[in-house]
């Protein structure tokens, strides 16, 4: 049996700030984040902030634009690809403070944007029902 991972969270809002988060029109994907800033945002400023943070912690994530993304991703020639792409390295997860709803204890976090909301709902139902059941038995 393989070990489960407990990745370190990288908070995008700690890098670009609350104002930068409000300027994001849409973010694509998970675990990577394709960032689409609004037309009024200074996207190059936020790109620079992300790149500087990526250089300070190169083991955590890489930052790409459509022109710098590696060819192995097969991303650069589509309109559906965001102008800025942040890709976490192994052992790290990109998130923001509004996505992280908290913890159920013992390192089990509840992300707001679960990959599959149905699975999250089932998981929460099972966890909460077992918690309620154990309280009733006491």
| CATH assignment of the domain containing 84 | 3.30.1360.180
The rounded distance, in Å, linking the Cα atoms of 71 and 60 is 21
What is the pLDDT at residue 53?
94
For 2, 20, 46, 52, the CA distances from 41, given in Å and listed in that order, are 44, 8, 9, 18
Q: Are residues 67 and 129 in the same domain?
A: no
pLDDT at 129 over 70: no
pLDDT of residue 83: 92
- Inter-residue contact 111 to 73 (CB < 8 Å): no
pLDDT confidence bin for 130, thresholds 50/70/90: low
Does residue 16 sit in the same domain as residue 67? yes
30 and 50 housed in the same domain:
yes
Question: Count of domains in the chain?
Answer: 2
Average pLDDT of the chain to the nearest whole number: 79
- Cβ atoms of residues 61 and 107 within 8 Å: no
One domain, residues 25 and 46: yes
Are residues 119 and 68 part of one domain?
Answer: no
Confidence of residue 102 (pLDDT cuts 50, 70, 90): low
13 closest CA partner among 4, 1, 5, 22 = 22
Helix (H, G, I), strand (E, B) or coil at 103: strand
Residues 123 and 77 in one domain: no
Report pLDDT for 47: 96
Distance CA 42, CA 64 (A): 17
**Which of residues 8 and 122 earns the better pLDDT score?**
8
What mean pLDDT comes out for the span 23-46?
91
Buried b / exposed e along 83-104 (16+ C-beta atoms within 10 A): ebbbbbeeebbbbbeebbeeee
Asked whether residue 76 carries a pLDDT value surpassing 80, the answer given is no
Domain that holds residue 104: 100-138
Looking at the fold, whether 63 and 124 belong to one and the same domain comes out as no
**Domain check: are 83 and 28 in the same one?**
yes
User: Which of 69-73, 110-114, 121-125 has maximum average pLDDT?
Assistant: 69-73
Share of the chain above pLDDT 70, in %: 67
The model's pTM: 0.68
What is the sign, positive or negative, of the torsion defined by CA atoms of 122, 124, 127, 133?
negative
Same domain? For 111 and 126 the reply is yes
Domain co-membership, 17 together with 65: yes
pLDDT band at residue 48, thresholds of 50, 70 and 90?
very high
């Amino acid at each position: 049996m393989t070990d489960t991972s407990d990745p370190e969270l990288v908070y995008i809002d700690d890098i670009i700030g609350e104002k930068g988060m409000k300027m994001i029109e849409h973010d694509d994907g998970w675990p990577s984040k394709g960032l689409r800033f609004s037309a009024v945002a200074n996207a190059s400023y936020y790109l620079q902030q992300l790149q500087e943070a990526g250089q300070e912690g190169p083991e955590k994530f890489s930052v790409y634009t459509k022109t710098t993304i590696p060819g192995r991703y097969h991303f650069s020639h589509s309109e559906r690809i965001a102008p800025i792409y942040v890709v976490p390295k192994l052992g790290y997860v990109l998130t923001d403070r509004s996505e992280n709803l908290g913890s159920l204890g013992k390192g089990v976090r509840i992300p707001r944007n679960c990959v599959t909301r149905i699975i999250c709902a089932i998981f929460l139902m099972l966890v909460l029902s077992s918690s309620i059941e154990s309280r009733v038995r006491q």
